[in-house]
Structure formats: C-alpha cells, structure tokens
C-alpha cells in the first residue's frame, strides 16, 4: 500500500510540473531568433535553392520544439548552419554551428581507425560526435550529453535500418553468405577445385590453375582466399612454386574479382554505399539506380582489372622481381634437392586439405566432390539476377510508356517503344542501359540470392549429402560470416546520415570550389582511399567512410566548375570506381588486412613474408592505375579511352616484367 501511495503522489507531482511548464509556454518572437543570427528582417536568404525573407526563415525556426533542429541557409551565397531549440518557457536557444564542424565526424572515424586499427568503434564514435554536433552541442545539462549517445541508436541506427534498400542489401548479403557455406559443405566448391587442379601439368600451368580458380570463385573474397589457398597449396608444392607466390596469387585474385564481378557478397554493400552517396546529392538530375552506376563505373576500375592482367602476364613470363624473386629461387633450391617432391596428401588425388580450424568451408565427410553442386546454384543466382533486372526494368518502363500514351503490352512493345519514349532513335546498348537503369536491382538481387539458396538446399538434400538440420546449420553459419560486414555497413549508413544532417558535402564543396580542378579529384581520392585502407586493413570500411562524402562532393564541385550533366556524371563514375579500386589496393598492401592474413594462413606462408613479397607488385599496378584514373578524368573518352588505357597498361606491364624481372634457373623454366 505504501508503494502504491508513493506512486500515486509521484504521478500527481509529475502532472503538476507538466501543467506548470505547459502554462509557461509562450510564443517565440522571430525577432529574437533574427537577433541571435545577426540577420535583419528585410534580408534575403536562400533555403533549399529558393529565396525568402529572413523573417520567413525565423518564423519557421520558431515553430520548433525543445529538441530543436538544424537549419541550413545561405546569406549572400555563403552557407550557414544553425541549431534552434524552443524552450517551454518561450525562449529560443540559437547556436550558430560552424560549417567546418561537419567534417569532424568522418575525420574522427578516419583518425580513430588509423590509430586503433579497429573500424566498428571508430565509426561509432564518429556517429556519436556527429549526433552531439547535430543536437546543437548542448552542454547546458547532463541530459543533453546523454541524449547525444541515445540519438546514435534511437535516430541514426534506426534511420539506417528503416530503409527498404538497406534492408534488401542486408538480406541479400546474408543469403549469399548462406549459399556459399552450403555449396562449400556439400562438396561443390571442392569439385570445382578438383576439376581445375587436373589442368596443372607444370610450374606455369599450376600457377595458371590457381589463377583461374581464384577467378572462378568470384562471388566471395573470403571463400576465395580460404578455398583456393588451402586446396591449391598441394598442387603448387608439387611443382616447386613458393608459398609466397601462392599467397600472392590467392590474395590478388580474391578482392579484385569479388569487387568488380556482377554478383558477389561485395555487391550488396557497394550498392548501399553508392546509394548513400547519391542520396546526399540534392535534385540529382539523372534517373538511374546504384546497380546501373556500378556497371557503368566498371570502365574506370583500373586497379582490379589491371591486377588480374599483371598476374597473367607475370605467370606467362616465368619471371619475377624484388623479394618475390628471392623467395622463388630459395624455394626452388630446396625443391630441387628432393627428387619427385610431392606431399603425401596428393597421392590419393583429393586436393581438398583441411587448413581451417573450424572447417567452415570444408566438405562434410562423404560429400561427393562434384562441381555441379556449386555450379548450378551460382548459375541460378546469375540467371535470376539477369531475369530480375529485365523484369523489374520492363515493369517500370511499361508504366512510363503508359503515362506517355504509348503501347506497352509486352516485352516486345516496351523494347520497341523506348526510342519513342526518349524522343530519339536508340541503339541496342543505349536501350539496354535504359532498361537496367530503370530496374530495381535490390528486388532482382533478393530474388536471385533466395533462388540460389533454394537450389543449393535442393541439391544437398536431394542427393542426401546432408540432413536438413545440418544444411540449415551450414546456412546459418554462412549468415554468421556476414555479420561483421553488416555491422560495419549499418554504422556506415549511420555515419552517412550524420554527414547528410550536418551538410558535410556542402562544406567540402565550398572548400574545394575554385580551389581545385574537378579532374584532379579522382587522383586525390585514390591516394586518400589507398592510405585509409592500408592503415585500417579494411577496404569495406574505407568505402563506408568515403563514398557518402566523395560522391556528393564530386558532383557539386564538377557542376560548380561549369561541367555539363554528362561530364559531371562521367567524373562521378570515375570517383565511384576509384574509391573501390584504391580500397582494394590499400587492402592488398596492409599487413593487418583480413584477406591478407587469411591468404597467408590458407597458403601456410609466413605473413610478413607474404606482405613483403606482394607489396612491390601491388604498388607497381597501383601506380599505373592511378595514372590511368587521372588521364581518364582529364580526357573524357568513355569506354574507348578506358580500353586503350587497359591495352597500354598491359604492354607497359609486359615491358616492365621482361626488363626488370628475372627468370629462375634455365633448368626450371617449365
């Protein structure tokens, strides 16, 4: 009874206090706000591109609440940011927020990541600082300090997850991770390895088999690294290839192919990062999708494609240089002393060795090592994705044609009507670009990933390789492998929301406008992305930090410099691919990169030796890729220029390898 009495008294007190506070509420005078902002009532300000009087702006601000809000406006073309909160006693708290503070949250995230080599905490603190700034930097009460912390989860995390596109990316990534785990456990991936391993008949073909396998397992860099290194180790050992060279082949095919392939565990995160950057561009004039932008940007993906080209030429030449040459010759000297050197585990022809402690990618006992167990699910994912892009694109275009009064009663009529819809005659590729650009890539990827999981389960259960319980356990384990990436992705979306609220892109645009040529942006961003990725050891976190800033800044700087829409869009595509490519470069060079460490582990190579021997090769390709990015930005030549740069880089690599590289002993040229 005593507790009930106390509770009732407390409730009455709260109602009394609430009533007293409400009674003290009063209309806030716009004049008070104008005075705090140092504006006169007759002054003209610009809000969202529209001119209005300062009094109108102050009236809008006065309609706020105690939590307050941020307001961006321009006075004489100079942007200003202010936080206005209306107290219950009728007074306005106005805080002018220096626009340069908008860059602090991402800088905090970058600096902490460089200092502590840990991404999750760095991104969290970046969001926390941003929430404090966005809340008006209120130190007038302990409550508001804690509220900044609460806003991180209550506002920015929820905003990051309360988005259908973001959720689609997360579900797609989980399903692809589950499918990879199932086809690994049912022997499908081992079957692919077994087929490729029979192609190894000498030292060069053993390296080419490893290279081709790395490309074949294109849809996940972790699966690529662990499977290729762990299984091809016996094949390369058989022909005296050094573990350092194997680790390089494994590492340099994992992220490059996974970053540019159409259907991978990377694509979901890449689309999410690109979308967050596009959302920060006000009134973006081009109707497209993140997936279409990703596909169009591939012509500027110089580092990943050049890395694959460089590796093929290096293998074909039979030459090496730098620390790798020393490692290869040392391995050969030891190999040559033992006639018919071959690991005992190779004798039975089963090249699926266990080098992973938890066995997450090892086939279950008794699983048939048949490639079709993996090929059919992968082909399903690819096929359904293509179908989904066409179906959703056709559906969207059918609506546009109907609104324009044009016939749209089937795929044929829709395809034929695209020229009429655009007002000009379109060729096949322009129609295809319009179709993909109108599609819903998120829906297509969801259809594809779910279909891939269903086919993988059907094969596994139909052939009695695993029970339903074991198959579901494998799938859930695959889900688990994606969780760290999804945590980073969610935090990245949260940081993107912070930079959007604080108008970081506006500040960077003002800072760079007139001070830097837009065509130099890809080169500067390449260097910055490579440095961040090297220091953090994570290409994903680098993309998470840079995409939301680099995309809107590039667009704003290009348009402010007088570039037309097409030229600005070409520069944006260049920056999209530059962030991705440079992130992979930094990841390759970093000794703390997860894929670099996994490559050493799966290849059973000394980790620091792997880093030392790989670094000259990565930097060689990186320097050429950087030059190509800058040239392509200066000369807007599209696909034709990019193809020319790819060909020229191949010739340059071959000349460099033949000039600087040295062969092994003549007796071991095979």
Q: Residues 22-34: pLDDT tens digits?
A: 333 345 677 888 8
Q: What is the mean pLDDT of residues 562-567?
A: 86
Residue of higher predicted confidence among 9 and 486: 486
Residue of higher predicted confidence among 551 and 85: 551
pLDDT at 649: 94
Asked if the model's pLDDT at residue 654 lies above 70, the reply is yes
Asked if the model's pLDDT at residue 6 lies above 50, the reply is no
Highest mean pLDDT of the ranges 93-107, 190-204, 348-362, 421-435: 93-107
Asked if the model's pLDDT at residue 62 lies above 70, the reply is yes
Asked if the model's pLDDT at residue 668 lies above 70, the reply is no
Q: Are 542 and 579 in contact (CB under 8 A)?
A: yes
Tens digits of per-residue pLDDT, 248-274? 999 998 888 888 887 666 776 787 788
Q: Which residues contact 652 (CB under 8 A, 6 or more apart)?
A: 624
Q: Are 114 and 557 in contact (CB under 8 A)?
A: no
CA distances from 525 to 147, 503, 635 (A): 35, 19, 18
Confidence of residue 430 (pLDDT cuts 50, 70, 90): low
Residues in a beta bridge with 80:
73
Distance CA 505, CA 77 (A): 16
pLDDT at 254: 86
Asked if the model's pLDDT at residue 655 lies above 90, the reply is yes
Confidence of residue 512 (pLDDT cuts 50, 70, 90): low
What DSSP string describes 56-104? HHHHHHHT--SS-EEEEEEETTEEEEEEEEE-TTS-EEEEEE-GGGGGH
pLDDT at 339: 47
Asked if the model's pLDDT at residue 548 lies above 70, the reply is yes
pLDDT at 21: 33
pLDDT at 509: 61
Q: What is the mean pLDDT of residues 607-621?
A: 90
Distance CA 384, CA 395 (A): 16
Distance CA 619, CA 253 (A): 16
pLDDT at 659: 92
Q: Which residues contact 338 (CB under 8 A, 6 or more apart)?
A: none
Q: What is the mean pLDDT of residues 515-543?
A: 81
Residue of higher predicted confidence among 281 and 10: 281
User: Phi and psi at residue 407, in whole multiples of 5°?
Assistant: -65, 140
Q: Which of 93-102, 137-146, 350-359, 632-641 has the lowest mean pLDDT?
A: 350-359
Q: Which residues contact 373 (CB under 8 A, 6 or more apart)?
A: 183, 186, 187, 188, 191, 456, 459, 460, 463, 465
Q: What is the mean pLDDT of residues 323-331?
A: 89
Residue of higher predicted confidence among 441 and 524: 524
Confidence of residue 152 (pLDDT cuts 50, 70, 90): low
Retrieve residue 329's tokens: 């010759």
Q: What is the mean pLDDT of residues 522-534?
A: 86
CA distances from 21 to 15, 64, 222 (A): 10, 17, 58
Q: What is the mean pLDDT of residues 343-355?
A: 34
Q: What is the mean pLDDT of residues 543-567?
A: 85
Cβ-based neighbour number of residue 153 at 10 Å: 13
Q: What is the mean pLDDT of residues 603-628?
A: 90
Asked if the model's pLDDT at residue 459 lies above 90, the reply is yes
pLDDT at 67: 72
pTM above 0.75, yes or no: no
Confidence of residue 197 (pLDDT cuts 50, 70, 90): low
Asked if the model's pLDDT at residue 330 lies above 60, the reply is yes
pLDDT at 356: 35
Cβ-based neighbour number of residue 40 at 10 Å: 11
pLDDT at 258: 82
Tell me the pLDDT of the chain averaged across its residues: 79
CB-based burial label for 204 (10 Å; 0-12, 13-18, 19+): middle
H/E stretch holding 587 reads helix 565-589
Residue of higher predicted confidence among 609 and 445: 609
Considering the chain, what percentage of its residues have pLDDT values greater than 70? 83
- Give the count of alpha carbons within 13 A of 219, CB side only: 23
Residue of higher predicted confidence among 9 and 591: 591
CA distances from 103 to 114, 324, 650 (A): 17, 41, 39
- For 136, which DSSP code? T
pLDDT at 230: 65
Residue of higher predicted confidence among 479 and 173: 479
Tens digits of per-residue pLDDT, 363-387? 888 888 888 898 898 888 878 887 8
Q: Are 135 and 144 in contact (CB under 8 A)?
A: yes
Distance CA 262, CA 176 (A): 13
């Amino acid at each position: 009874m005593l507790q009930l009495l106390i509770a009732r008294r407390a409730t009455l007190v709260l109602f009394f206090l609430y009533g007293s506070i409400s009674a003290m509420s009063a209309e806030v005078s716009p004049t008070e706000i104008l005075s705090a902002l140092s504006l006169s009532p007759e002054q003209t300000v610009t809000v969202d591109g529209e001119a209005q009087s300062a009094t109108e702006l102050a009236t809008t601000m006065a309609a706020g609440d105690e939590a307050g809000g941020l307001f961006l406006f321009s006075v004489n073309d100079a942007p200003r940011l202010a936080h206005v909160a209306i107290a219950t006693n009728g007074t306005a708290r106005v805080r002018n927020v220096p626009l340069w503070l908008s860059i602090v949250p991402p800088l905090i995230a970058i600096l902490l990541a460089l200092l502590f080599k840990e991404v999750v905490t760095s991104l969290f603190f970046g969001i926390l600082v941003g929430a404090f700034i966005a809340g008006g930097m209120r130190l007038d009460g302990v409550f508001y300090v804690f509220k900044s912390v609460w806003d991180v989860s209550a506002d920015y995390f929820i905003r990051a997850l309360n988005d259908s596109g973001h959720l689609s990316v997360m579900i797609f990534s989980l399903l692809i991770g589950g499918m990879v785990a199932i086809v690994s456990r049912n022997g499908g991936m081992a079957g692919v390895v077994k087929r490729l391993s029979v192609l190894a008949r000498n030292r060069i073909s053993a390296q080419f088999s490893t290279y081709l396998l790395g490309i074949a397992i294109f849809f996940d860099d972790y699966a690529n690294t662990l499977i290729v290194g762990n299984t091809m180790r016996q094949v390369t050992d058989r022909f005296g290839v050094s573990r350092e060279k194997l680790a390089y082949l494994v590492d340099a095919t994992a992220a490059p192919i996974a970053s540019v392939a159409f259907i991978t565990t990377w694509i979901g995160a890449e689309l999410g990062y690109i979308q967050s950057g596009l959302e920060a561009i006000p009134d973006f004039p081009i109707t497209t999708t993140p997936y279409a932008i990703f596909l169009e940007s591939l012509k500027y993906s110089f580092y990943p494609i050049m890395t694959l080209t460089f590796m093929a030429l290096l293998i074909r030449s039979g030459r090496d240089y730098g620390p790798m040459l020393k490692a290869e010759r040392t391995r050969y000297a030891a190999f040559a002393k033992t006639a018919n050197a071959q690991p005992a585990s190779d004798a039975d022809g089963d090249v699926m060795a266990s080098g992973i402690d938890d066995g997450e990618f090892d086939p279950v006992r008794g699983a048939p090592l048949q490639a079709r167990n993996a090929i059919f699910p992968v082909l399903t994912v690819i096929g359904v994705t293509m179908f989904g892009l066409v179906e959703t694109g056709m559906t969207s275009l059918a609506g546009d044609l109907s609104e324009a009064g044009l016939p749209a009663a089937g795929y044929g009529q829709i395809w034929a009507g695209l020229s009429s819809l655009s007002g000009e005659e379109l060729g096949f590729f322009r129609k295809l670009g319009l179709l993909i650009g109108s599609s819903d890539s998120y829906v297509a990827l969801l259809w594809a990933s779910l279909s891939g999981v269903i086919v993988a389960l059907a094969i596994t259960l139909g052939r009695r390789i695993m029970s339903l319980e074991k198959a579901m356990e494998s799938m859930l384990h695959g889900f688990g492998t994606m969780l760290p990436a999804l945590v980073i992705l969610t935090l990245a979306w949260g940081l993107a929301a912070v930079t959007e609220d604080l108008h970081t892109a506006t500040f960077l645009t003002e800072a760079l406008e007139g001070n830097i040529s837009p065509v130099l942006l890809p080169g500067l961003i390449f260097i910055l992305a490579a440095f961040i990725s090297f220091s953090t050891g994570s290409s994903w976190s680098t993309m998470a930090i840079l995409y939301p800033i680099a995309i809107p800044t590039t667009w704003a700087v290009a348009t402010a410099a007088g570039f037309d829409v097409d030229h600005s869009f070409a520069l944006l595509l260049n920056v999209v691919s530059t962030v991705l490519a440079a992130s992979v470069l930094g990841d390759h060079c970093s000794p703390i990169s997860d894929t670099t460490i996994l490559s050493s582990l799966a290849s059973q190579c000394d980790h620091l030796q792997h880093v030392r021997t790989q670094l000259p090769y990565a930097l060689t390709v990186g320097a050429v890729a950087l030059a190509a990015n800058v040239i392509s930005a200066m000369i807007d030549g599209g696909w034709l220029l990019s193809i020319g740069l790819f060909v020229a880089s191949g010739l340059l690599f071959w000349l460099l390898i033949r000039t600087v590289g040295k062969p092994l002993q003549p007796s071991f040229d095979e």
